[in-house]
Structure 1
Amino acid sequence: MSTSEAALPRAPARAPVVPVAERPAPLSTAQARLWFVHTSRPPTAEYNLQVALLLRGKPDLDALVGAIHRLVRRHEPLRTVVEPRPDGPPVQRVLADPPAVDHRPAAPGADAMARAVATASGELAHVFDLEREPPLRVRLAPLDDAGDTVVLVLTLHHLAFDGWSTAILLRELAEDYRRRGEPALPAPEISYSDYAWWERRTLDHDREALLRYWRGALDGVRELELPTDRPGHGVGGPMGTVRHELSASTMERIRAVAAQAGTSTFAVALAAWFAVLGRYGGQRDFVVGMPVGGRTDLALEPLIGCFVNTLCLRSALRPGESFVESVRRTHLTLADAMAHQALPFEELVRALGPDRRADRNPLFRAFCSGVDAPPSFELDGLDCEFVAPAGTSSRFDLNATFLLGGPRPTVQLDYSKTLFDDTTGADLARRLGVFLDWAVSRPERAVRDVAWMMPGERRRVLETLNGGDLA
């Protein structure tokens, strides 16, 4: 679960989600948004997600394949295709059988992890035919003749999966493998199709009130201006990633500021991201995008599927106020947005009518999310290691992810290499980390007075500006 989902009040559902008998189901609003993107331009792998694992210790391949098949049967989005209708919007069509497992050999090489990365990267580039094939591809490739080491790659289209779903998939896969199918794990009480019907009916009731809120919240805001190394927008280009690890003392102070402001650690980090973006672009009023889990009813929490929505958070910076006061206002912005999260992002975009192009996100250029802790996975008697594919494409010009739980709190900055040099990306990530460290060390200090350079770096800059003469 992300910090942005966990640390704020849930938006109350109008009525419980209950099973329905109607078939076929419409696409959910999240699916409809992704389907629109998929059909409005040449299909790409941009919205592919992946769970890839290097397994050592002679895994039981039959038990592993059986666990995957049972997982897919429990969660219908993993075997759902989109069926266009000539007389109306497309609908979901749930296939009876899970996809076949691909047992082709892994990519060549001598090092097991390097081969696993190459295999996962190749799978991630697959372009799904969402009308004809399920949005899940399974590759189970041996890395030695004895079968002691294998790579398991689950590649999924976002239409069927989101960040929350990852924990469900890992937990159920491990439990089913341990049980070897006996006794079987219970299926969820409701299905994703039930949710799609419920969501549509609820939205029909609330749409106008939600539109009024968001029009007011975003009235008059301008697009964030970023001083990039190259002009344009960078969505779909190659992505660079920089990580800045936070010290234990900084994390302790972040928690203290959160308690002082009556909010979450994510709100503290978001306030810092607002401030750094404003200083970087010379702008006070702009929008940052943020994902929200969308599971507004407890009955939805055990389901794999795409529930995620995108919220627009308005910065409205006040450089003269203290950082802790900025955190308090950021908390209010977050809470209001979460309370009005049910309006699909695509409907907001249509209502506001911004410029739409394939290389940009409408309404925002920068993104932000929070993660409580990195995923963990144990598979009965095996040594398991996550595999990170190479060559990921960028969905945003800039994206800050705050991993604030676990033993190594980290700020991760993803940037589009279409726009930014690697040195620029590394510099911005470092400045965000330094700003956050200084801001929480003295939270009563005005935002405009918080440093984003280390003392030695600041001295060198001042010496340069003063012609080398710094008295």
Structure 2
Amino acid sequence: MTGSSVPAELAARLAALTPEQRARLRDRVRQERRPRQRVLTPGQRRLWEAHHTTGGRPVDVVCQAVRLTGARVDLDLLAERIEGFVRRHEALRTTFEETADGVRPVVHAELPPRLLRTSCPDAEEAYALARELAHEAFDLAAGPLLRVVLAEGPSGDEAWLLVVVHNLVFDAWSFELLLDELGRAPGTAEPEAVPFSRFAEEQAAWSASEAGRAAAAYWAAEVADPPAPLPTDRPRGGATRRDGGRVEFSLPAAVAKGITAAAQQEAATAYAGWLAVAWAAFEEFGGSSDVLLGTFTAGRDRPGAEATVGYLLNVLPVRLRDPGDGGPAARIRAARAVSRAGLRHAVCPGELIDAPRRVPGTHPLLDAVFVFDNLGEGTRTVQGAEVTTADLDKGVARYDLTLAVHPGADGVSGWLEYDTGLYDEATARGLAERFVAAAERMSREAAR
């Protein structure tokens, strides 16, 4: 073979590739040129430690059931889209290796997801299958860390997509990106895929900068001299198994609109309104107006981060301690002020906050977390089928208490997740009822 014949042969081989094969080759070339993540992010480090502390139980595992109804869905096409999504996003091809120098991420050129095909006659069976997959321990060193079930439903116009994936490589925003990909119209261009390694490097550089140090100092001041942890039914000891239960609740659209209206009257967001409701409920539950909660931020402030799959979620403290006269307006104004001040430092990894251990377990500072999830408010379709998602109860508790609020067109649904080693169901139910009552009260008073 002469030197001049090599380019011609290569050109012929390239010309013979199918469009899909060319796309794979382009992805492979881009991947080889990308920087590789060298160390865990602070958030990943916490998740790694929690995974081993809890014996690999699915405390930090995404478990979503997606029901597709109203049109026949091509499951083979869905499988192709999922596999292509994994090829484009390096986080989903990442495993984690223990070395003498610590844990390091390993990005593989190829690491297909675990794809299963089956049928599910009803939601009960679909949910049970998703939970079973979530409780099957992940091998973080071997992977893959994404498991997907594509299931036919009881009729031709119903199907199920079950997504089980470790938080080390995925978060709620990543799930929305996956749904975007599955709903992308045929023939349209694939969206940009920004590698997680870029986010990890930029986060590390920022954290070491003057701005990063100033943000960490802000958060340290916010949590100085924290209030006592919330009361429990049983004493806190060391790390728990994190067995959990959930108490679900709902509120009608009129109450949700009342909370939003009350917030708007104080130039605040709906988040601040619901945070004020949570504050009132936890104050009554704990007996102190000084309430320290955790809250989630998307961590998508940097350019390109909105197109990145991985664990970018950030858990930060929110300190609520001056309710004024205790009325809705005063609470909302205080929640608005705290939230706005915190947003200026929201890119600071919560794990880097210098604070004394407040509670035992996987997070030394926070015993209760407030989640306001409005990512899925819009209507979605996949291949013409309507999308309905369910975040499944896996029987575990990430924190001692987690209060989640999900606004929708018909009102608000939510749940209170609790550690069953610390709380009885009756206690958790009582706290959920306090939250519902506080929301109804705030909505009524705002309408006056």
- The TM tier, using the shorter chain, reads 0.7 to 0.9
Q: What's 2:161 paired with? A: 152
Q: What's 1:90 paired with? A: 103
Q: What's 1:63 paired with? A: 77
Which one of 277, 281, 287 corresponds to residue 276 of structure 1? Answer: 281
The aligned runs of 1:27-426 (5 Å cut-off) are 27-40=40-53, 42-55=55-68, 58-87=72-101, 89-103=102-116, 105=118, 111-142=121-152, 150-175=159-184, 178-179=185-186, 182=187, 184-188=189-193, 190-205=194-209, 206-226=211-231, 228-232=232-236, 236-248=242-254, 250-318=255-323, 320-348=325-353, 351-354=354-357, 357-358=360-361, 361-372=363-374, 373-374=376-377, 376-382=379-385, 384-386=387-389, 389-426=392-429
How far apart, in 2, do the equivalents of 1:204 and 1:152 lie?
41
1:117-171 C-alpha deviation (Å, 9 max, x unpaired): 2211111112211111122112234567x98765332211001111112211101
Q: CA deviation at 1:383?
A: 5.7
1:305-362 C-alpha deviation (Å, 9 max, x unpaired): 11111111112144635431221111111112221223322222xx22315633x632
SS at 2:423's partner residue? coil
Change (3 A) 1:336 1:235: farther
How far apart, in 2, do the equivalents of 1:425 and 1:130 lie?
33
1:67-97 C-alpha deviation (Å, 9 max, x unpaired): 111111121111111233423x533221122
Q: CA deviation at 1:287?
A: 0.9
Q: CA deviation at 1:399?
A: 1.8
Change (3 A) 1:97 1:334: same
Which one of 434, 438, 443 corresponds to residue 441 of structure 2? Answer: 438
SS at 1:354's partner residue? coil
How far apart, in 1, do the equivalents of 2:126 and 2:183 lie?
20
1:151-197 C-alpha deviation (Å, 9 max, x unpaired): 3322110011111122111011121xx52xx4551442x31111111
Change (3 A) 1:430 1:341: same
Change (3 A) 1:252 1:99: same
Q: What's 1:11 paired with? A: none
SS at 2:366's partner residue? coil
SS at 2:318's partner residue? strand
SS at 1:404's partner residue? strand
| Paired amino acid for 1:192 | F
| Paired amino acid for 2:100 | P
* Greater CA drift, 92-101 or 115-124: 92-101
Identity of aligned residues (%): 25
Q: CA deviation at 1:105?
A: 4.2
TM-score by length of 2: 0.82
Structure 2 residue runs without a partner (length 5+): 1-31
How far apart, in 2, do the equivalents of 1:259 and 1:55 lie?
35
Change (3 A) 1:244 1:149: closer
How far apart, in 2, do the equivalents of 1:114 and 1:288 lie?
33
Q: What's 2:24 paired with? A: none
How far apart, in 2, do the equivalents of 1:376 and 1:357 lie?
41
Q: Is the 8 A contact 1:26 1:193 kept in 2?
A: no
Aligned residues: 412
Change (3 A) 1:328 1:356: closer
How far apart, in 2, do the equivalents of 1:28 and 1:212 lie?
19
TM-score by length of 1: 0.79
Change (3 A) 1:442 1:150: closer
How far apart, in 2, do the equivalents of 1:394 and 1:383 lie?
30
How far apart, in 2, do the equivalents of 1:378 and 1:305 lie?
24
Q: CA deviation at 1:50?
A: 2.2
Change (3 A) 1:361 1:440: same
Change (3 A) 1:186 1:278: closer
| Paired amino acid for 2:88 | R
1:430-462 C-alpha deviation (Å, 9 max, x unpaired): 2212222223433599xxxxxxxxxxxxxxxxx
Q: Which structure is higher in strand share?
A: 2
Structure 1 residue runs without a partner (length 5+): 1-18, 446-471
| Paired amino acid for 1:331 | R
